Amino acid sequence: MKKELFLRSTTLIQTNNDSMASKQTSTAKKLKEHENERSTLAAVLHVVGQPLHINMLTLTPPARGEVLVRMQAAGVCRSDWHVISGDTKHPLPAVLGHEGAGVVEQVGEGVSLVHVGDTISLSWAPYCGACFHCTHEQPFLCSAYDGPIWKGAMMDGTTRLTLADGTPVCQYCSLGCFSEYCVVNEKSCILMPATICPEVRALIGCAVTTGVGAATHTANIRAGDTVAVIGGGGVGLSAVMGAVVSGASKIILVDRHPSKRQAGLSVGATHFVQYPQKTSAESASAKVLEKVLSLTNGVGVDVAIEAVGIPALQQLSIDIIRPGGTAVLVGLAPMHASIIMPTAKLTRQHKTVKGSYYGGIIPAKDFPKIAQMYLTGKLPLDKLISKRYHLDQINEAYADMCVGALARGVIVFGETASTRLPAKL
């Protein structure tokens, strides 16, 4: 009896000791994490339709498979504006920004793709490498990461950012590039040459890859093709460059702003057609169609790339391609947007309509290829950068974007901001 009581007592003591040790380990871990937390200044969207606010946030260190990045540059993209306007639904509060570049500051356990000090571009499409889409060379459609990305969270369903009162702050595309620092999945970090300036590395992360890829991968433009690109922003001008390197014989840029003429011609467009303003969409599209037909001997273009995301322009892209031609929809339209598809006409004229998400590329493989094309002079990516802004000028940057004043605006951080502003390329 005494032996039994002794054994039970010993077991209880051991259990209590194990429990206490576990709690001490957990407490020590939390204290260590707290010690490693840092503050970061970020542009936060609190309410749809309202300006972004510059807040000081708390950033927890990277967990397993994650990387802490010191941001150097982040592009001003219309996809983020869709969240601000409410056209894209997203949990709030959130730090926006999905087109960025920076330097690796710290790596979590198990990270092997990058190391501290590496210069990187960020991809907004991390991938698992094992799902159906990943094994079919479509990592940008990875099903494992689709849920967390749209929730603005990391793979464990939580975010690494909090407000002063402890409220979690979402990270758009699991990134949140409009912040001095961000913690991201290692699969979002693509090693890039340090000789490429941060602004260009940032644009390779979205606009350039989306536009160039739409031309070279999705549309598969061939030498001698005639091409029309609708929209002269960062994606559209990148599509023009993609058409150039693919050997297109005629490249027609369509935009409502006459200022985009020079921007288009400087990156390889051969013609510019202004989309009429102050008239109905139907009338404006009819005039553009007439002009495109006159430039193509009445046939239409082999390939049309719509890079804005407006249904009327998506419809126009189908109208201006020749029988047997291909229309590629690249611009991100508001959720639930739709167009009327002339199905009988598509069938009888053998027209093809394609969606293009992230240019149909594989970031880990194609980012470095695009970087080399830039370094060898084949892609004049510097010409995309219209203006640089500090983080506290971010609302001004989006105002400029909305009126069509930019090809691409770029938010610059730290030394990049102090040494490169206000110079323009």
User: For the segment 342-353, what is each residue's pLDDT rounded down to a tens digit?
Assistant: 899 999 999 999
Q: Return the bridge partners of 101, or none.
A: 73, 121
Please provide residue 244's backbone torsions phi and psi, each rounded to the nearest 5 degrees.
-65, -50
Average of per-residue pLDDT across 214-236:
97
8 has pLDDT over 60: no
* 98 part of the active site: yes
18 has pLDDT over 60: no
**CB environment 43-59: b (16+ within 10 A), e (fewer):** bbbeeeeeebebbebbb
Task: Give the Cα separation of 373 and 194 in Å (integer).
Answer: 15
35 has pLDDT over 90: no
Nearest 10 degrees: Cα torsion 235, 236, 241, 246: 100
Average of per-residue pLDDT across 89-110:
97
Average of per-residue pLDDT across 97-115:
97
Where are any strands of DSSP class E within 176-334?
A: 181-185, 189-191, 226-230, 250-255, 271-274, 301-306, 321-329
Tell me which of 121, 179, 206, 217 is the catalytic residue. 206
Tell me which of 9, 22, 82, 266 is the catalytic residue. 82
What percent of the chain is modeled with pLDDT above 70?
A: 89
Task: Give the Cα separation of 9 and 11 in Å (integer).
Answer: 5
Average of per-residue pLDDT across 73-93:
94
224 has pLDDT over 60: yes
* 197 part of the active site: no
Tell me the pLDDT tens digit for each residue of 351-394.
999 999 999 999 999 999 999 999 999 999 999 999 999 999 99
CA atoms within 13 A on the CB side of 122: 34
**By mean pLDDT, which of 181-195, 288-302, 405-419 is the weakest?**
405-419
Tell me which of 9, 26, 98, 179 is the catalytic residue. 98
* 82 part of the active site: yes
The pLDDT score that the predictor gives to residue 342 is 86
What percent of the chain is modeled with pLDDT above 90?
A: 79
Average of per-residue pLDDT across 86-110:
96
Tell me which of 77, 173, 182, 189 is the catalytic residue. 77
